[in-house]
Structure 1
Amino acid sequence: MERTESCQETSFYETRKEIYDCHVWHHPNFPLHMHKHLEFAYNAGGQMQMTVGGREYCMEAGDCMLIFPYQLHSFSSEGEIDLSLIIADMDYVGEFKEELSRYELETPCFPKSSLSRYGQRILELVRTSAYDSQVPYQLDKGLLLVLLTDIFHHIPMSPRNAPADLSISQKLLQYVNEHIVEELTAAKAAKAMGISPYYLSRIFSEELKTSFPAYVAGQRLNLACNMLRNTQMSVTEITYEAGFPNMRTFHRCFRRQFGCTPTEWRSSSHS
């Protein structure tokens, strides 16, 4: 598993409401982001790149990746991949919530063969369940807990030197996304973080490679797209539910990003 320093990308905090999600991803491409969930990826076929914690990993067929909460990570691939992905809220993993706060994997990427024969069988069951939407919630949870048990018994881990604290940039992304539908200004966010507006601007421009207004608009567009795709809400309702101040601003940002109106995007998404 080759590992190199990764170039910086624009990163964002992903707001997820689901406590558990297991699905197959054939074309995994997703920019640098973080969330409060535990994430497990298993590549059953093909080759892809993943960035975790500022390091780049090449995932070959048969490789696994365990990503801890609040770790910045991204996916990149060319061609078709057979990637099974589990994303679980920390309350979902029970006793491992404490384990994850005290220890960390020496490397997040490891081959399937590192697991015991039981762990490898469980991994295949997890992969099978990703293709079946009828798998009961309790079975999915049981498979994940057994898989984590095997990982923590067979993959080298080391104690954390201190409790993991979020960096100021991570805290800032988290704050913005927790208040994304509210009236949100750089001055208000800076005050909440206890920093100056100038320092906030530097964090976005130098670390996150974007501006505060552009980041906020992008996150609101992501939220709007989810509502356009998954609800029957009107475009007017979505405008305000996503945090935009008015329809004119929403349409301008949407057309600049997607080259079409929200209504046109909704129609093409459904088709």
Structure 2
Amino acid sequence: MSFFYQNRQEQLYLYLSKNNPYAVHLHRQLELIYVLSGSTTVTVEQQDFLLTPGQGVLVFPNQMHGLKHVKPGHNLLCIFEPDFCHSFRQFFQNKKPAHNDFTVSSLSEHSRIALQGLKTLAAAMEKDRPTPSDVQVYAEGYLTLLLADLLPSLPLQVRKNTDDLELEQRLLLYLDAHYTEELSLESLSKEFGVSRFVLSRIFTEKLHTTFPDYVNSRRLDYARDLLLSTELSVTQIALDVGFGSSRTFFRAFHSAYHTTPGAYRRQKESS
């Protein structure tokens, strides 16, 4: 399983997602996930929420989360900056929910109108990027209605300062910026001021992977992008993404994708 920091730039992103899983990640924006059909499991910081139509979650900034479908269906995704709805910015800066899930039937008619409005905007926006300013204005209004209704129903807890994220979150932020470089548990131990055994336990117990497997997954994701978007040699790609040798790269790539980098590139070019 892959984990990553998602460096999003847009103020607002609206999308109707069909059967799309998302690996565990975090970003500085909020994310609204609302189930329209089928059923979906959303994991937020070790909590699993099984959602059916009419249910959703509101993920706060820098909360680790991922999504997988249990039954095929559609979800409304709305990702927005903490200051997109200015009146609520203070809630997102120093608090997080004890639980992130909600059921629209327990909210007011305003929330149902807001969610229907966001769904309509998302349907119109599927092939239109970036988000036009008029759509942003409508979305801000709908989100303001929804948040005014929803936030009082979510028990909020004071969280650590955003500069002092949980160690596993800071690890992901750091590795996202440095995974192409030479890395080891020893170098991370010096960077974060904790023992290599603490770091190793975070990977195995909280992220359910190992340090080498995590770093390799990030490098391999980047390698696949380079194979398809550039004409760089496989050897050069191996070095650019952080593998010490092409032999190590070939072995890791074949283990992950059951083919060679060259065969993967040819297959995608011919499809």
Above 0.5 in TM-score? yes
Give yes or no for contact 1:16–1:35 (8 Å, CA) kept in 2: yes
Give yes or no for contact 2:13–2:131 (8 Å, CA) kept in 1: no
Q: Distance in 2 between matches of 1:159 and 1:48?
A: 24
Give yes or no for contact 2:58–2:101 (8 Å, CA) kept in 1: yes
**Structure 2: runs of 5 or more not aligned:** none
Deviates more, 1:144-153 or 1:254-263: 144-153
Shift of 1:126: 3.1
Structure 1 pair 80–58 and aligned structure 2 pair: CA distance change class (3 A): same
2:143 aligns with: 148
Shift of 1:152: 1.9
2:232 aligns with: 234
Instruction: Give the AA of the match of 1:124.
Output: K
- Normalising by structure 2, report the TM-score: 0.81
Instruction: Give the AA of the match of 1:13.
Output: F
Task: Say yes or no: does 1:12 pair with 2:3.
Answer: yes
Structure 1 pair 29–127 and aligned structure 2 pair: CA distance change class (3 A): same
Give yes or no for contact 2:24–2:64 (8 Å, CA) kept in 1: yes
Cα deviation code 1:154-180 (max 9, x no counterpart):
012445334454222222222222211
Q: How does 1:26-45 map to 2 (within 5 A)?
A: 26-45=18-37
Q: Distance in 2 between matches of 1:111 and 1:265?
A: 44
Give yes or no for contact 2:185–2:199 (8 Å, CA) kept in 1: yes
**Structure 1: runs of 5 or more not aligned:** 1-9
Q: How does 1:72-221 map to 2 (within 5 A)?
A: 72-90=64-82, 93=84, 95=86, 96-105=88-97, 107-113=99-105, 114=107, 116=110, 118-133=113-128, 136-155=131-150, 156-164=153-161, 165-221=164-220
Structure 1 pair 103–208 and aligned structure 2 pair: CA distance change class (3 A): closer
Instruction: Give the AA of the match of 2:5.
Output: E
Structure 1 pair 102–16 and aligned structure 2 pair: CA distance change class (3 A): closer
2:59 aligns with: 67
SS at match of 1:201: helix
Q: Distance in 2 between matches of 1:28 and 1:109?
A: 19
- Normalising by structure 1, report the TM-score: 0.81
Aligned residues: 260
Q: Distance in 2 between matches of 1:120 and 1:202?
A: 40
Q: Distance in 2 between matches of 1:126 and 1:112?
A: 19
